[in-house]
Amino acid sequence: MTQTVPPRNPEAPTTPAATAPDPGPPASGHDTAAAARGLPAALKRRVPKYADLAPLMQFKKPEFSRAARLRRASTIWDLRDMAKRRTPQAPFDYTDGAAEAEISLRRARQAFLDIEFRPGVLRDVSSIDLSTDILGGPSRLPVGIAPTGFTRMMQSEGEYAGSQAAEAAGIPYTLSTMGTASLEDVAAAAPTGRNWFQLYLWTDRDRSLELIQRAAAAGNDTLMVTVDTAVAGARLRDVRNGMTIPPALTLKTVLDASYRPAWWFNFLTHEPLTFASLSRYTGTVADLINSMFDPTLTYADLDWLRETWKGKLVVKGIQTVDDARKVVDHGADGIVLSNHGGRQLDRAPIPFHLLPEVSAALKADHSDAAILLDTGIMSGADIIAALALGADFTLIGRAYLYGLMAGGRDGVDHALHILEKDMQRTMALLGVSRVADLTPEHVRILRT
């Protein structure tokens, strides 16, 4: 008698009594063939041996030194994170912040992201040369340190760390009128460095002249006059933090100090903040700027500077093509396309976007004035993009200050090391071995 067995529905539930031992998935032809031949030794399971595990079990001893901490930073953004953890809110925000809604700063950084590199292939890039000439002298890298005010407030080594790191890297260092080390002290700290001085023209012309003479006597070969500070920008982070010079020990700052004892120990055990060009001052940053700087400046004042200063003269804060042409006509050897890091006029023009127009205009005028650019630079790739679009040189402010706050002089060295490696890698991948070979063909702006 024949019995008919209905087909088994694989989704139908089964009772324990009806469950048969699972033979596993049917063997494929490949598995069957492998079983017939015997599996390779690498595919056979086995109990791991200690000798095999030992090379994988490399437990490093924890390191807490400054050098070990900095080695963990692979980008300028990593240094910024470290700086924020180690620096009280008021000085960190003074560095990190910008004017009003901080739109200019965000746009400047976004501008460097909104590009497309266009690499060339089959080029010999076994050796990358990042050196360049700027304003009559050499620089080992196409980037220098921009003028920054109150630098010892960010970290006690301040301008000394910046100038010495620049000297070691073979790049220019610019001391600010609002710096917290004197012209003479910076020259002594970095005697073989290429030191520049940034000038704010004051209402008191005699004091401006004294500064110019001191800069020349200290060996500065370039004077950089800043022209975008007729009045102070509305830096709202500073207002909300109650930012004063020097920082005040309010209840808020004392509580903040409990999380950053190293900063306060350094601050309180070093010489109080003094300025490169001022007697001691107590008050808000905005009040200081508004009391000192001259809102009546005109091109006649630039003519006076050109007659007074015998070295290279650079005008910083250029934000239109027309002004770029005018300052060159009035004797400037170079211009800095800059909106002051977004710290003055919010919604100001973006220097990187302005760069191609200014470069084309000065070439049309047969001008050999140098074009420098700052604002928004956070990587070596940003620097390479600026050079490709027509800049002769770049300046960094926040990027090096993050390193300073993260680790003093060592942190500045590391910031410059990060940027140098970024530039070398970007150049090699673009198929370019020399800065002079970068052209606008290497970069396309995706949107503006």
CA atoms within 13 A on the CB side of 360: 8
CA dist., res. 311 & res. 239, Å (int): 38
Structure tokens at 90: 């008021």
Residues marked as catalytic: 340
- Map tokens 């998935």 to a residue: 25
DSSP assignment of 4-66: --PPP-TTS---GGGPPPP--SPPPHHHHHHHHH---GGGS--PPPHHHHGGG--PPPP--SH
What residues have CB less than 8 Å from 152, skipping those under 6 apart? 158, 159, 180, 181, 270, 273
Three-class secondary structure of residue 395 per DSSP: strand
Burial class (CB in 10 A: 0-12, 13-18, 19+), 60: exposed
DSSP assignment of 146-192: PP-SSHHHHSTTHHHHHHHHHHHHT--EEE-TT-SS-HHHHHHHSTT
CA dist., res. 248 & res. 303, Å (int): 41
